[in-house]
Structure 1
């Protein structure tokens, strides 16, 4: 889909309003033309020169002036003035209506584009986020959306201006086609001169889009990593980098403004030269009608003079449209769904697990990867039991866990739920029954209560309190300034790591998942926090089907099964006692972790 196609698609979402804005523009142009045509006769009539009875005028003027044939000389100026005021009144009402509709359309366009972008970001697979920057996404939803909406609004403005200019051209043609032909040639020269500015505006618009995206990316990265910036005392360095990006963006904006500013003076100079040339040509064309020449040329020049600002506005609008085309191209690429990964959902409902989960000869390679992350993994997790995945970093533990909630689909093999391929289940229904507690717990900048019931917004206050108690979180929550209503800051910055983990466990308890995934939930905690969190995990895991990823082997001694992964393959499966007795991979990992302690065999 091309950038122009995107603009047309946006405009089609409100076609009636778009057409109505053009109708208002046409109405305004007609009333404007009538009013302008009456100005010179009114002025001359007030000065004592009666030109309305002159029959040497072109047919259009004769038809317009014939309205006053039955009006006496004493009341003719009043009649002229009344008609002029009525025409100007309707012209301004039409212009006001067009402006109001244009503003309404702009708001609708921005909302529609942002909705489309937000829907795409919520629907697209996680793999998409591995290849984009957050700053780019924010730039799409803010700067680029606004610029595209401006482009569509400018397109409506261009259509209105073209209609207005055509109305004025029709009036000018009716007055004198010869003078209009000369005017058209002169105006074509002005248009060619403006085309240079329009081409420059397009180039500077591309520079502005790129500079704005670079600035957004760097700002978000710095603010996200502000702790690292301060820890390494890099405030001045980051300030210098961001300051340079600000300068680049403002320079691109300044160049665009210079282009817009140059259009007015160029048009004015060329227009004055065109006026002089037109008077010279008109005098030769009306040499045989010198008595009426002055009246005709005055009316013609007033109409032409009134049309020229619209030509200038058209050139400015074309320049502005060209400047925003770069944004339409970028936004079109962003909204294009054909080149992005989306997870297809099945249609089977899912409520509970009856038998268990089987990883049936699973192999997987990341879309951008050059090696297999998992190879021929064959594991079974019966309902109500716990399967622990252990192994060195990069062995494939987290990858296997990510396949269960269908963040990715296996490259080969299948995950079976009660003997049915996971792909056949409704993906959202299944995910609602899966709880995940990971090492990198995410909390929203909201209250404690809102974070606990995020997975189940309908939870009652009693359910939230009970979940917090079972997660060993109630004690510290009650000490917070506002208890359960205390805001916890961005990503829960007001809480310790152990407190954040316990809130995440409380959140999972409220959600009451059928299947539980624990991804190294205690690996980054101190001894006291680890004990509290482990107690909460034990409470959470009761009577649930649990997949545990463990770095500390002490946390998986009581697992029903332990699978040892190495380079994406399952090399051992068994209980803690069985694997120690074999003296192979698991026993070596255990010996390394407990080298300074006697082995513990519960």
Structure 2
């Protein structure tokens, strides 16, 4: 009982989603049980009438029934009792149908609410949360664990209905024969004590199975997203073996859990049969009449499946409670890193962006990714960020987007701290074109219009033409309505990049960020994309991250990063003539500098 109370406390947040649901279902369940109990109890006067020994009834209630039937003939009494029994059973069937329907409705709506709530949290939680947690585990949580949590609510409802039916039928049994009922209660109490020991083991096994299932989901996602790398290095057999071992662990945990779960039913059934034999012996020696014994056994027979279901539902509630805890652990907002939006609506950039003594470290790292960074990015100018891989260039972009908050220091947009700006409004003024283009599993048109869904078809085509994408789009099987496949698999790298640029052009951003947008492309694709970027960059504030230093010769300012520090800044020619880190980077790509 203590374990059940603890489990209900875990599931309580689910109950609060629809607080009226469970009471209504319980009321319907109680009346259904009462109707069935009355119907079965009426078998006693019916059997007495059939045997012609109605006068031998010593129960006050059934004697009162006889008073209502006193004016009827014996055959009419029998027909009336049959009619009453049928009406009672019909009421029970209707009410059972209603509470079953309502129960599954409640599960489906709860599942929907949970998925929406989890998705909302995952979409709004800060980037640091995604850095810490594995994508596969989060995918498993939103697809599988929310379903398991909603199932826990359903099993809890069935458990409560089973308890109500158990109590009501027990009262009817006491009414029919208190001696036999006390014997049954004693046996059922013994069975419940033994089952309680088994459920403790089930809960531990359920937790182990949950962890194994999460690992399998994460491994599956990791394999699917890295399929090309796996094939390049010929590691198919290695990955197959890894998956086999993870799946085997899931299988073994599941089998152990099922063994513990299914043993309860035959165990209780065996004890129930033994109890039935014992009852018949007691009835024989206590000289209990046959109509009462038959009705008692029949009611006990109807009750026995409910006891089995009660034990099964209790087992399932306990087994699924870790999933409820897991889901609501995610939904507890105060325990998650959130980027809190400001309330100032950004209009347009007048001066520029200023970093003042900014320090920053990622949640998964102990060292600083940026150290004491102070810089200014002027409005309407092109600023380039260069440096070795891991020097902090992309981190600066992440902080401008405010995917993370600075560890110390401050970022100003004109005269306002970035933290005070409305996040959605601020980000709507920025477009990003990067080498890691994300194409959604949708049509070409939907991908171009993703950041500007209200755009007309003419505006979408115009943006595609400016991005040098219109020609290849028209050659696709269905033009702009062509479905591009998962992550744009049907498109080449250059085509995906041009769609990304068309997306940025359509949004008409005030600030454009180019994160190594032409890196790793072929010469023809790079030329087309450079032309599109040049057009897109006109009259905007542009921030460029580039490995190919020839692409930033026209930059108004170049910031050179090294080990998370800003080590140099200036124009292309000034830095090239300083024999500095920038000069070394240039020489690595193009050889000696011509002065």
Could you say which TM-score interval applies, normalised by the shorter chain? over 0.9
Q: CA, structure 1 residues 229+369, in 2 after alignment: closer, same or farther (shift >3 Å)?
A: closer
In 2: Cα distance, 1:422 partner to 1:498 partner: 34
Q: CA, structure 1 residues 204+61, in 2 after alignment: closer, same or farther (shift >3 Å)?
A: farther
In 2: Cα distance, 1:527 partner to 1:145 partner: 48
In the superposition, the TM-score normalised over structure 2's length comes to: 0.94
1:435 aligned partner: 431
Query: Do the aligned partners of 2:49 and 2:74 also contact (CA within 8 Å) in 1?
Result: no
Q: Secondary structure at the match of 1:582?
A: coil
Output one character per residue of 1:459-505: Cα deviation in whole Å (capped at 9) or x when no partner: 11111111111112222222222221122222222222222111111
Q: Secondary structure at the match of 1:201?
A: helix
1:372 aligned partner: 368
Q: CA, structure 1 residues 434+65, in 2 after alignment: closer, same or farther (shift >3 Å)?
A: farther
Output one character per residue of 1:77-101: Cα deviation in whole Å (capped at 9) or x when no partner: 1011000100110011111111111
Query: Do the aligned partners of 2:131 and 2:363 also contact (CA within 8 Å) in 1?
Result: no
1:403 aligned partner: 399
Residue 540 of structure 2 is aligned to residue 539 of structure 1 = no
Residue 29 of structure 2 is aligned to residue 25 of structure 1 = yes
Q: CA, structure 1 residues 585+241, in 2 after alignment: closer, same or farther (shift >3 Å)?
A: closer
Output one character per residue of 1:423-479: Cα deviation in whole Å (capped at 9) or x when no partner: 111000111111111121111121111111111111111111111111122222222
Query: Do the aligned partners of 2:11 and 2:321 also contact (CA within 8 Å) in 1?
Result: no
Q: Secondary structure at the match of 1:186?
A: helix
Output one character per residue of 1:315-352: Cα deviation in whole Å (capped at 9) or x when no partner: 11111222212322322333332322100000111232
For residue 63 of structure 1, report the CA deviation from its aligned partner. Answer: 4.2
For residue 111 of structure 1, report the CA deviation from its aligned partner. Answer: 0.5
Q: Between 318-327 and 339-348, report the one with greater CA deviation.
A: 318-327
In 1: Cα distance, 2:239 partner to 2:390 partner: 33
2:123 aligned partner: 122
Q: Secondary structure at the match of 2:73?
A: coil
1:419 aligned partner: 415
Pairing partner for 2:304 from 292, 305, 308: 308
Query: Do the aligned partners of 1:515 and 1:544 also contact (CA within 8 Å) in 2?
Result: yes
2:479 aligned partner: 483
Query: Do the aligned partners of 1:3 and 1:329 also contact (CA within 8 Å) in 2?
Result: no
1:449 aligned partner: 445
Output one character per residue of 1:481-537: Cα deviation in whole Å (capped at 9) or x when no partner: 222112222222222222211111111000111111111111222222222211111
1:12 aligned partner: 16
Residue 348 of structure 2 is aligned to residue 344 of structure 1 = no
In 2: Cα distance, 1:60 partner to 1:558 partner: 101
In 1: Cα distance, 2:16 partner to 2:425 partner: 35
CA RMSD of aligned residues (A): 2.0
Residue 35 of structure 2 is aligned to residue 34 of structure 1 = no
In 1: Cα distance, 2:64 partner to 2:193 partner: 36
Q: CA, structure 1 residues 49+204, in 2 after alignment: closer, same or farther (shift >3 Å)?
A: farther
1:171 aligned partner: 172
Residue 499 of structure 2 is aligned to residue 503 of structure 1 = yes
In 2: Cα distance, 1:64 partner to 1:229 partner: 80
Q: CA, structure 1 residues 126+167, in 2 after alignment: closer, same or farther (shift >3 Å)?
A: same
1:384-403 → structure 2 map (5 Å cutoff): 384-403=380-399
Q: CA, structure 1 residues 240+369, in 2 after alignment: closer, same or farther (shift >3 Å)?
A: closer
Output one character per residue of 1:137-167: Cα deviation in whole Å (capped at 9) or x when no partner: 1111122111111110010111111111111
For residue 548 of structure 1, report the CA deviation from its aligned partner. Answer: 1.1
1:213 aligned partner: 214
1:467 aligned partner: 463
In 1: Cα distance, 2:324 partner to 2:57 partner: 54
Query: Do the aligned partners of 1:365 and 1:374 also contact (CA within 8 Å) in 2?
Result: yes
Would you say how many aligned residue pairs link Structure 1 and Structure 2?
Answer: 590
In 1: Cα distance, 2:30 partner to 2:66 partner: 22
Pairing partner for 1:50 from 34, 44, 53: 53
For residue 65 of structure 1, report the CA deviation from its aligned partner. Answer: 4.9
Structure 1: which 5+ residue stretches go unaligned? none
Structure 2: which 5+ residue stretches go unaligned? 1-5
For residue 201 of structure 1, report the CA deviation from its aligned partner. Answer: 2.8
